[in-house]
Amino acid sequence: MTDLRAAVDAVLPATLEDLKKLIAIPSVSSQADHDADVQATADQIAEWLRELGCPDVKVIEEGGKPAVIAHFPAPEGQPTVCLYAHHDVQPAGDPVLWTTPAFEATEHDGRLYGRGSSDDKGGVAVHLAALRAFAGKPPVGVTLFIEGEEEIGSPSLPTILERHHDELAADAFIIADSTNWEVGRPAFTNQLRGLADGIVEVKTIRSGVHSGSYGGAVPDALTVLCKLLATLTDEAGNVAVEGVQSFPAPELDYPEDRLRQEAGLLDGVELIGEGSVAQRLWTKPSISVLAIDTTRIADASNTIIPSATAKWSLRVAPGDDPRAAGDAVVRHLESHAPWGAHVSASIEQCGWPGQVPFEGPISAAAFDAFRGAWGVDPVFIGCGGSIPMIAEFQQAFPGATVLVTAVTDPHSAMHGVDESLDLGDWAKCALAEADLLSRLAR
């Protein structure tokens, strides 16, 4: 372990500089004007792998954004491990809100700030560091799969898994795209909520009419929409949609004061839902209203609004069917229209929840490797966010071990302003991954 630690430490400075270069490329997969940037990050990663001596590197597109697949062949009799991360990122939002520029990596107090630092270019860099520690000759076979569209739901992943199935087949998959329990304490994620989201539109009149002439008798669509959306939850904030399932609480204690601090909850604002915090976040469904399309305040007049539209998002409990749960939301919305308003609802996308068993010799080796790198036992956690591709990997490779690891922590602000990465934990994750590859060599 001493020699391996020294080898990892030796490659970390250059790998950190490369991570900063990745962060500088605004590879926002959801925006077409950044397509060239998404291509640029894929090409840059491929170039680094070729420089490392990887004999088989290619950038592929299967109807979506570019992904990198690279192979370091397995020595005789050794297993193969697939290392996954993604190189696309979320939009930065309003640049004024960032303390430092979103696409300019900045170090401060042991953290690296910038969009993608933790989600998930930090994961890409962990894989690079582990491979560089072995000078491009890992003790087991390694397949690197760096996806370019995870932030938009991985729409072409099923095609990639079908057309490149044999290339991606492995004994174990290490998916570095979740979160750790806290700074200094690693975690393996073994439960993930799924996702169903969609649109609901309300119409009440053919066109806008004078609110003074008709107000009090004619309902405006925005008020109807607000009343309709309020029926999605009960008074406590639990999902009130018939047919959407919940599951038992996990054993891990998640203190309420910690949640309030991590979420930035304002003084006096109450938590919603019932059950333990961990259950509410990981094994019960939740529903949110993400956006409403209606008249802007700047454009408002004394007019009764004829139509209004909202985007809803349901997080689906592990074990539930996201399509069935989404259909239940659609039925609920269309059957709870106030005052006979015309309501149409639809599903835009679904993503499967996940249950990730942690068992067998590969998992045991991973536990020991991560404990050795951090100096403490890893924690087993759920994830309230959705990573549907985990279930797709499990379905495509049912005999393989799947491990969901992380470089992020509760302070990383993934998808938010001032996203950051704890550099100490990032280094420990690289060491743990390199150690795991060593332990898996037969």
What are the sequence ranges of the domains in the chain? 2-192+354-440, 194-257+272-351
Where the chain has pLDDT below 50, the residues are none
- For residue 93, report the phi and psi dihedrals to the nearest 5 degrees: 75, -155
What does the alpha-carbon distance between residue 242 and residue 329 come to, in Å, rounded to a whole number?
8
Mean pLDDT of the chain: 95
What does the alpha-carbon distance between residue 179 and residue 189 come to, in Å, rounded to a whole number?
8
What does the alpha-carbon distance between residue 390 and residue 404 come to, in Å, rounded to a whole number?
8
Domain 194-257+272-351 has CATH 3.40.140.10: no
**pTM of the predicted protein model:** 0.88
What does the alpha-carbon distance between residue 370 and residue 90 come to, in Å, rounded to a whole number?
28
Q: What is the pLDDT of residues 49-88, one digit of tens each?
A: 999 999 999 999 999 999 999 999 999 999 999 999 999 9
The neighbour count for residue 40, using CB atoms within 10 Å, is 18
Q: Which residues pair with 288 in a beta bridge?
A: 313
User: Do residues 172 and 440 touch, judged by C-beta distance below 8 A?
Assistant: yes
Run of H or E residues at 199:
strand 194-203
What pLDDT is recorded for position 1? 65
| Pairing assessment for the beta strands 401-405 and 172-176 based on DSSP bridges | parallel
SS3 letters across 256-295 = HHHHHHHHCCCCCCCCCCCCCHHHHHHHCCEEEEEEEECC
**What's 185's DSSP letter?**
B
What pLDDT is recorded for position 138? 97
- Match domain 2-192+354-440 to its CATH number in 3.40.50.300, 2.40.128.20, 3.40.630.10, 3.50.40.10: 3.40.630.10
3-class DSSP assignment, residue 106: strand
194-257+272-351 shares the fold of 2-192+354-440: no
Return the exposure string of 63-97: e unless at least 16 CB atoms fall within 10 Å of the residue's CB, then b: ebbbbbbbbbebeeebbbbbbbbbbbbbebeeeee
Q: Which of 146, 32, 46, 133 is nearest to 91 (CA)?
A: 32
What does the alpha-carbon distance between residue 67 and residue 57 come to, in Å, rounded to a whole number?
11
- For residue 260, report the phi and psi dihedrals to the nearest 5 degrees: -60, -40
